[in-house]
């Protein structure tokens, strides 16, 4: 009975407010950060799932969007293979025990905004055999995985970051099914798994895998000892499986990618909760080898979070300020560098999939944005590229996760609420002018 009273009270905490995104001052390299706000419960409003019907997400004028795969089982991250096939990681993990009544409440409220479909624990392969933009083949490449999330291809191997290990499948060009059982490269921290998603990308030279491992708590409420090897990015040797911390203090690095021109590692990171709707901004950043990014002791560089005890002034002093604020609680889960084939407005920068907030009365996220770059760095406010997921009536028709750009100049978006892969294509004249001669037009 007490549980039901708590849940009923939580549902009455804040009414749903029509969707609006955070102010532009919350974006960029120098965001305006409000003072922390503490309360018994954070503001909570989760849009309920709604069907698309005949509608489609909104894209910029001249661009088109279409579903290329439906009826998936919680699609997360995407990998475009050399022949144009698309691998989709499907799954759902976690299951950390509840510590406090507010955890029970938050868990219940978050569950209201999720798909009722069970995670597939598999990889699905999509194929467009004739290059017309319609993926007529949708089959299972591998199954029996453990909440797969991050994906990478190096030479003749596909690497999958399950929630408990990085595993390897042999791969040859055009293969549609795994030829054998996966081989474990290295185990990953998986005890408790408050943040279960293990993001991954490969270095430009193919010698290293980078794996993002989220914290086991919001702000060490489970104790600092359970955070060993967490809230960091591992560097894993592909030949031996040996690993070391590459960067630390990243609360939940949910997606990783390599900048094509420089080989630089970039990440999107989900920051901490429970200090107000305007704190702390999720962010996009180039990841410095050996760098410390603040969690749990500080945020946005050296702003101390007194909830983390005992404090460590030396670590705070060394904390690096991220490159670009995406806004608080947008839940960035996907990142991919663009190509000129996406059109002049989107030729230089990154696409970011924003899964959407649950812990603020005015929901944010629920869209894919483009962060423009200049001279290799973020420059300017984010631009909406795919929106319309969020309805004013308090419902959501989709929640973006992984994003990818294929060589033909199409943006791919995994949507784990409607269990769909969306494909966004630029005007034909722009795409055809930018596609290499050895690639079919979109």
CATH of domain 47-434: 2.120.10.30
The domain ranges of the chain are 47-434
What spatial distance separates the first Cα and last Cα of the chain, rounded to whole Å?
A: 57
Q: Is the pTM of this model over 0.95?
A: no
Written as tens digits, the pLDDT of the chain (442 aa) is: 333 333 333 333 333 333 345 445 789 999 999 999 987 666 777 899 999 999 999 999 999 999 999 999 999 999 999 999 999 999 999 988 877 766 776 777 677 778 999 999 999 999 999 999 999 999 999 999 999 999 999 999 999 999 999 999 999 999 999 999 999 999 999 999 999 999 999 999 999 999 999 999 999 999 999 999 999 999 999 999 999 999 999 999 999 999 999 999 999 999 999 999 999 999 999 999 999 999 999 999 999 999 999 999 999 999 999 999 999 999 999 999 999 999 999 999 999 999 999 888 889 999 999 999 999 999 999 999 999 999 987 899 999 999 999 989 999 999 999 999 999 999 984 555 455 555 554 4
Cβ atoms within 10 A of the Cβ of 18, count? 11
Do residues 96 and 193 touch, judged by C-beta distance below 8 A? yes
Alpha-carbon gap, residue 285 to 287, rounded angstroms: 6
DSSP assignment of 311-339 equals --HHHHHHPPPPSEEEEET--EEEEEE--
Do residues 358 and 344 touch, judged by C-beta distance below 8 A? no
């Amino acid at each position: 009975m007490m549980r039901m009273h708590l849940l009923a009270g939580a549902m009455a905490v804040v009414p749903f407010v029509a969707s609006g995104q955070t102010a532009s001052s919350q974006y960029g390299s120098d965001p305006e950060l409000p003072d922390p706000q503490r309360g018994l419960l954070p503001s909570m409003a989760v849009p309920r799932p709604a069907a698309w019907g005949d509608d489609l997400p909104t894209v910029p004028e001249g661009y088109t969007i279409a579903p290329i795969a439906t009826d998936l089982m919680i699609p997360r991250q995407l990998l475009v293979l050399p022949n144009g096939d698309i691998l989709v990681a499907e799954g759902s993990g976690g299951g950390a025990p509840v510590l406090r009544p507010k955890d029970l409440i938050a868990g219940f409220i978050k569950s209201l905004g999720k798909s009722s479909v069970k995670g597939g624990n598999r990889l699905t392969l999509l194929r467009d055999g004739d290059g017309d933009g319609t993926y007529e083949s949708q089959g299972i490449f591998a199954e029996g995985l453990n909440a797969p999330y991050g994906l990478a291809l190096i030479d003749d191997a596909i690497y999958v970051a399950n929630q408990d290990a990085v595993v390897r499948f042999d791969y040859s060009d055009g293969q549609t099914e795994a030829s054998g059982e996966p081989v474990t490269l290295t185990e990953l921290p998986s005890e408790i798994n408050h943040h279960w998603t293990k993001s991954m990308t490969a270095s430009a030279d193919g010698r290293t895998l980078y794996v993002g491992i989220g914290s086991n708590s919001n702000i060490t409420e489970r104790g600092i000892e359970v955070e060993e090897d967490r809230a960091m990015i591992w560097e894993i040797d592909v030949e031996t499986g040996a690993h070391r911390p590459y960067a630390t203090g990243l609360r939940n690095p949910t997606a990783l990618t390599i900048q094509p021109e420089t080989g630089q590692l970039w990440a999107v990171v989900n920051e901490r909760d429970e200090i107000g709707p305007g704190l702390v901004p999720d962010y996009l950043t180039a990841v410095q080898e050996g760098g410390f990014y603040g969690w749990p002791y500080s945020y946005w560089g050296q702003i101390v979070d007194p909830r983390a005890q005992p404090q460590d002034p030396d670590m705070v002093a060394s904390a690096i300020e991220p490159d670009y604020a995406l806004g608080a609680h947008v839940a960035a889960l996907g990142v991919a560098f663009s190509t000129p084939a996406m059109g002049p407005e989107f030729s230089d920068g990154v696409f970011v999939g924003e899964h959407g907030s649950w812990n603020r009365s005015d929901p944010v996220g629920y869209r894919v944005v483009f962060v423009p770059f200049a001279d290799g760095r973020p420059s300017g406010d984010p631009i909406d590229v795919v929106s319309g997921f969020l309805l004013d009536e308090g419902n959501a028709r989709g929640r973006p996760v992984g994003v990818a750009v294929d060589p033909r100049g199409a943006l791919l978006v995994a949507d784990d609420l409607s269990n769909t892969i969306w494909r966004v294509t630029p005007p034909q004249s722009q795409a055809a002018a930018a596609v290499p001669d050895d690639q079919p037009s979109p």
